[in-house]
Amino acid sequence: MLLQCLPAFDDNYIWLLRDAGARALVVDPGEAAPVLAVLGDAPPLAILLTHHHADHIGGVADLLARWPGTPVFAPHDDRIPQASRRVADGEQLAIGDWRFAVLAVPGHTRSHVAYHGEGLLFCGDTLFSLGCGRLFEGTPAQMQASLARLATLPGDTRVCCAHEYTLGNAAFALTVDPDNPALRERVAAVRAQRAAGRPTLPTTLAGERACNPFLRCDAPTVRAAAEAHAGHALPDAVAVFGALRAWKDGFRA
């Protein structure tokens, strides 16, 4: 099994998973050109979509024009017209020799899903390395619940986010949790990766649980930082998450 992240636009990643026979699964192709350049004449087994934003689905039409009939898995959302199969929370997908579970993770959008299987998590814009997605359609309670759900997956799960945001997220994470040794070590590694022109993804879920403030809303240091910024006590993890997300929305390093 070969996992590839294909750069797209300024900071997107399109994920490609290949089996031993070089058959491919494509995840969130915001544009077609990177996929076409890699696959050549070999059609993909399927396309997985996490949510409706154009930088995640914009290349699907061109891929289907090249390979008509390619299965397209997507959440129940009319804003994704190319879907050939709608998926919902709890479904088990069999694609070639791979098996994936569908997880509903609303927050960034109301219909966002993630795909978990084969030791991988394709999470779109819900969970980022050292960060999380903005709340365009969901509530803090929804997003915090979605992130908490992802955090229960096995620690060695490779987290395949859809954007190279890690270095920017690191500045905020260090502001919130500056004395976290795991975070400081992760940031040093991220800086070296980016200086060498390498992607910082995939990361691991264990690493995110240790370093990502949005997965650490119950940690005393993170709660204290959120309360200090908010200027008042925060009663629970949802309130801490909401304060962190609002802080991050206006944050400038």
The Cβ-side half-sphere exposure at 96, using a 13 Å CA radius, reads 20
Q: Is 41 one of the catalytic residues? A: no
Q: Is 56 one of the catalytic residues? A: yes
Q: Spot the catalytic one: 52, 112, 116, 163.
A: 163
> What angle (nearest 5°) sits at the alpha carbon of residue 141, between those of residues 232 and 220?
45
Note whether 15 and 26 are within 8 A (CB).
Answer: yes
Q: Is 163 one of the catalytic residues? A: yes
Q: Spot the catalytic one: 52, 108, 112, 116.
A: 108
Q: Spot the catalytic one: 55, 112, 116, 177.
A: 55
Map residue 241 onto helix, strand or coil: helix
Give the position of tokens 């200090």: 228
Q: Is 108 one of the catalytic residues? A: yes
Give the position of tokens 């905020």: 172
DSSP string, 96-126: TTEEEEEEE--SSSTT-EEEEETTEEEEETT
Q: Spot the catalytic one: 28, 52, 53, 112.
A: 53
Q: Is 116 one of the catalytic residues? A: no
H/E element, 151: helix 140-151
Q: Spot the catalytic one: 51, 52, 112, 116.
A: 51
Q: Rounded CA gap, 252 and 188, in Å? A: 20
Q: Rounded CA gap, 123 and 19, in Å? A: 20
Note whether 238 and 141 are within 8 A (CB).
Answer: yes
Give the position of tokens 């006590």: 233
The answer to whether the Cα torsion of 166, 170, 176, 179 is positive or negative is: positive
Map residue 90 onto helix, strand or coil: coil
Q: Spot the catalytic one: 52, 56, 112, 116.
A: 56
Q: Rounded CA gap, 231 and 180, in Å? A: 22
Task: Just list the catalytic residues.
Answer: 51, 53, 55-56, 108, 125, 163
